[in-house]
Amino acid sequence: MKKSLRLILSVVLSAVLVLSLAACSNGNGPAVSSTPTSTESSEVSGTTSGDSESQPIGIITAMSNELKMLLEKAEISETKTIGGVDYNIGKLEGQDVVLVQGGIGKAMAAAGTSVLINEFNVKSIIFTGIAGGVGDEVKVLDEVIATDLVFHDYGNQTNDGFVWNAEGGVNEDGSIPVDKDLSQKAYEAAVSVLGEEHVFQGRIATGDQFVASSEYVTYLQDEFDAIACEMEGAAVARIAAQYEVPCCVIRAMSDKADGVAHDTYENFGDTAADNSAKIVLTMLQNM
Ligand code: ADE
């Protein structure tokens, strides 16, 4: 090949390379993973970015009955489906929100939380839904606002049975934090909706199990000092902590996680779900 032709070819190839790299960095290009060079940083900021006035609040639930009232009250301007899950963008009680029924269990909750943070740049996250009452004093239709959470099913299965492992959490004791201010706002809203005697603040235990066993309730009390159990809260809080996005977990008791939990849940689940949603509405009004 002639020297001049080689030169033209290499200029054209370089231009194509530069243009395609520019397209990728604009977010218009294909999803590619790149290995950073020694002069690039591979770290992306963990926190959400932007003007918090214009950032929406993310509201996530597991089930449709937990989101129903909020969807009915909201003015939804757009719905984006990501990974088969609908993210409803709009206004609720004067606040910009993204409402999502993330799905049941830790995996779906973590995925939904990650999308709220990374696709919608939410400034905070509120989980609302129902749970099983674990604390002796916590009755059906009472409300629990998480002070922190644990993954009760994270650990090792051994010949001596299950051994819980604190490494699933954030703090040394294995607990996962929530935002104090946001949780306090949730508590105040809950008290104004239900009355102080029906609202508790304490630890919530999360696992991929519907708990319907008095024996396991005693275990959750003794091992974790938990006052409620459910299947998503700690996963939401774990991902929110990872990205340093404030979050809170609001749960109404649909049952007592005991031997008759399935029946109690059938009877009280919808009312409990609505109670938590009302608390979210009040919280948004007060913000
Ligand atoms: N959500 C509502 N009740 C529950 C229970 N008993 N266990 C786990 N998640 C729940």
Please identify which of the residues 66, 143, 179, 230 carries the catalytic annotation: 66
Any ligand 1 atom below 6 A from CB of 255: yes
User: To test ligand 1's pocket by mutation, which of 231, 251, 267, 268 has the most ligand atoms within 8 angstroms of CB?
Assistant: 231
Return the residue matching tokens 């949730």: 186
Task: Identify whether the C-beta of residue 206 lies closer than 8 Å to the C-beta of residue 132.
Answer: no
Q: What is the maximal distance between C-alpha atoms in the chain?
A: 88
CB proximity list for 36: less than 8 A, separation 6 or greater: 42
236 by DSSP, 3-state: which? helix
Q: Quick one: how far is CA 221 from the chain centroid?
A: 24
Q: How far is the centre of ligand 1, averaged over its atoms, from the C-alpha of 176 (Å)?
A: 19
Residue 249: the pLDDT is: 99
Give 57's strand partners: 97, 124
Any ligand 1 atom below 6 A from CB of 211: yes
How long is the chain? 287
Any ligand 1 atom below 6 A from CB of 61: no
Taking 70 as the pLDDT cut, the residues of the chain under it are: 1-50
CB proximity list for 124: less than 8 A, separation 6 or greater: 57, 58, 179, 182, 245, 246, 247, 248
Residue 155: the pLDDT is: 98
**Spatial separation of the C-alpha atoms in residues 248 and 271, rounded to whole Å:** 21
CB proximity list for 224: less than 8 A, separation 6 or greater: 150, 152, 203, 205
Q: How far is the centre of ligand 1, averaged over its atoms, from the C-alpha of 208 (Å)?
A: 10
Residue 51: the pLDDT is: 76
163 by DSSP, 3-state: which? strand
Which runs of consecutive H residues, i.e. helices, occur in 55-210? 64-73, 106-118, 180-194
User: Residue 134: what are its φ and ψ, rounded to 5°?
Assistant: -110, -40
Output the six-digit token pair for 205.
């235990």
Please identify which of the residues 179, 188, 255, 263 carries the catalytic annotation: 255
Output the six-digit token pair for 81.
């489906």
Residue 5: the pLDDT is: 43
Residue 14: the pLDDT is: 45
Q: How far is the centre of ligand 1, averaged over its atoms, from the C-alpha of 280 (Å)?
A: 20
Residue 48: the pLDDT is: 59
Residue 47: the pLDDT is: 55
Record the pTM. Answer: 0.84
Annotation marks residue 173 as catalytic: no
Give 163's strand partners: 156
Which residue, judged by its Cα, is nearest atom 2 of ligand 1? 131
Q: How far is the centre of ligand 1, averaged over its atoms, from the C-alpha of 152 (Å)?
A: 13
Annotation marks residue 51 as catalytic: no
